[in-house]
Amino acid sequence: MLKYSGRAAAVLLAFAGGPYQSFALEEIVTETMIVSAARIPVAENMASSAITILTRADIENSPATFLGDLLRSVPGLSIASSGTTGSQQQIRMRGAEANQLLVLIDGVRINDPAFGDEVQFETLSLNDIERIEIVRGPQSAIWGSDAIAGVINIITRGGSDGTKPLSVFARGGSFGRINLGGSAGYGGTAGFFRFSTSWLEESGSNVARSGTESDGYENLTLSSRFGLYPGSSLRLEGSFRYLNTDNQFDAVDFAGTGLPVDADRNTKTEKLYGSLRANLELLNGRVKQDLLLSYADTNIKNFADGTDNGSTFSESFALRYNLTLIPVAGHNFTIGIDHETIDFRQKGEASFFGDPNQNQEISSSGYVIDYVGALTRTFSLLASVRYDTNSDFSNVTTWRMGVNVALNDGRTRFFGNAGRAQKKPTFTERFGFFPGTFIGNPSLRPETSFGYDVGLEHRFDQHGMTLEVIYFSARLDNEISGFVFDPTTFLFTAANLTETSHREGVEIMGSIVLAEHLILAGNYTYLRSQQPDGQGGFEVELRRPRHQGSISLDWSPDNLIQINLSLDYVGQALDRFFPPFPEPAEIVTLESYLLGNVSLRYKLDERIQIRAEIQNLFDSQYEDVFGFNTPGLGAYVGIWADF
């Protein structure tokens, strides 16, 4: 099966050479197991959800350095970047909020309680990433809170994935960028180990529309993954990841223009993730146990003019356990238990408006029953139900049901997925405090959503052509708004809304082999995302383009050279602008734009290759967030060496 480049159209779910050969999951012909589509790995051609897979080849063919830039071309995802390299990047899946998308690295949840349960995609270097699974649609029945829109599962590089024992690289170019790194590892039948590191320093570009000050960025990433296999039935694995970043940014001139203005502001962030995992198989694989222990720690410190301007901290411990029973081949029943405890702290200077200093803790547990089965040679079923208990707010029941049908000797596939999902309130929404502007609401209830999607995929006999069309729809209840005016305190607060928000759209993906070694791929997403306007009607949700699409062309005439050209189109979107007081907030338009990227790889020999990259080929001037400039044309060159 050909794996087409994921830069523009991602990787389509093509069948691996025909219909199912038997009812047993282990015997279904497939190249790929999807780790995040159920409580156990599922064969790619049995998954009932819309899935995109990005491989190491896709990463290497892309000019992206950080994960957020790589995901720009994935269908169903929209990116809102508030400036230059290192600036905040919010990623919304199918119109959902940025914190309604769950992200995992080697099984560790990295949705950050110290950052409103969002993920700082702009900090995640691609250097050590082997594979990315993007599962769209409601997944809370499997993963719990945050998975309203879907799941992004990131798998880092191990020691037995074909990588060389030692690899180093050096890259540099526009905006004063210097990027150095490497990895070392070992892999064998008894286990593996790999350690990776990367350092990036950049002077950046000017974020504000006025002024000349560039906003710089520094990022140090250390990571490792290791495994030990003491016997054929027992596997022990672990992972570690450390991030240290320093991001400069501009202040907002609330008194004058209401827009960003040059200022001495920066945020220093430290993150630490770790996991230990054990897999045990008994009775010839009919009983499987999986235990994962994970840890996440974040320290975010803000500075203004060189002085402390407040900090947030979070620490979480989590346990995930699966017991899978296979009484009959092809029918997998999994009982799962999850538990998580989170500590949250906020520090700041007390003032007339109040004291922001606080220390909060919550815990939650989830109980899951999950079924994955091949009912016939062409029909598979996935079903899950989950009950979550929470220490501080109401408990929630979620579910998921999915089907997958193979037709036309496996060349055509129909799939559908429906479910109820949930998102628990964030610490900021419940306890956040910003002097003179916002105070949290500890009485909030979890947000809930019902969503479904249906898709049809066909693999044509000629030219390696594939086409996939997906329709999706979701409604959101108990939505939490952080812009509710409290007449008793004269501050804004958070509250559950009584009305329902609606999101629906279409995703179209396709690829074709134009000639030997020349592949064209593309995708288009139409999104209609509306929320109540408070007056009995609906309004378009902000920072969500209605039209978005990508095209990529991959050419590899021989094993020495690889060229990728990609075009990303982002249609018009709306945003909110806050002019100086007493003028009211106003809705503004973010204009459409086109980004071009070029990546070239050339092998000097089996060990050394040169890479050259151009980002924003047309030097497009665009804004994802109103008033925040983004970088123009950038060119980079680097050398990679394997030993």
Q: Which residue has the higher pLDDT, 362 or 435?
A: 362
CA atoms of 40 and 37, how far apart (whole Å): 8
DSSP structure string for 239-250: EEEEEEEEEEEE
Tokens 């100086």, residue located? 580
Classify strands 438-439 and 634-642 as parallel, antiparallel or unpaired: unpaired
CA atoms of 615 and 607, how far apart (whole Å): 26
The tokens describing 237, both together, are: 């694995």
CA atoms of 284 and 218, how far apart (whole Å): 50
Give tens-digit pLDDT for 430-447: 988 777 788 889 999 999
List CB contacts of 504: < 8 A, sequence separation 6 or more: 471, 472, 473, 474, 527, 528
Q: What band does 7 get if pLDDT is binned at 50, 70 and 90?
A: very low
- 217: helix, strand or coil: strand
pLDDT mean across residues, the chain: 90
DSSP character at residue 134: E
Give tens-digit pLDDT for 381-396: 999 999 999 999 999 9
H-assigned helices in 454-598:
none
Tell me, what amino acid is at 84?
T
Q: Residue 597: beta bridge partners?
A: 566
Mean pLDDT over 579-600 rounds to 93
**Could you tell me what percent of the chain has a pLDDT over 90?**
77
The pLDDT of residue 18 is 32
CA atoms of 512 and 520, how far apart (whole Å): 5
Q: Considering only CA atoms, give the Rg of the chain.
A: 24
List CB contacts of 315: < 8 A, sequence separation 6 or more: 295, 296, 297, 298, 342, 343
CA atoms of 397 and 399, how far apart (whole Å): 7
CA atoms of 149 and 421, how far apart (whole Å): 8
Domain 25-642 sits in which CATH superfamily?
TonB-dependent receptor, beta-barrel domain (2.40.170.20)
DSSP character at residue 150: E
pLDDT at residue 423 tops 70:
yes
- Residue extents of the structural domains in the chain: 25-642
DSSP character at residue 31: S
The pLDDT of residue 195 is 95
List CB contacts of 206: < 8 A, sequence separation 6 or more: 84, 212, 213, 214, 215, 262, 629
Q: What band does 491 get if pLDDT is binned at 50, 70 and 90?
A: confident
CA atoms of 526 and 20, how far apart (whole Å): 33
Cis status of the peptide bond prior to 582, with omega within 30 of 0: yes
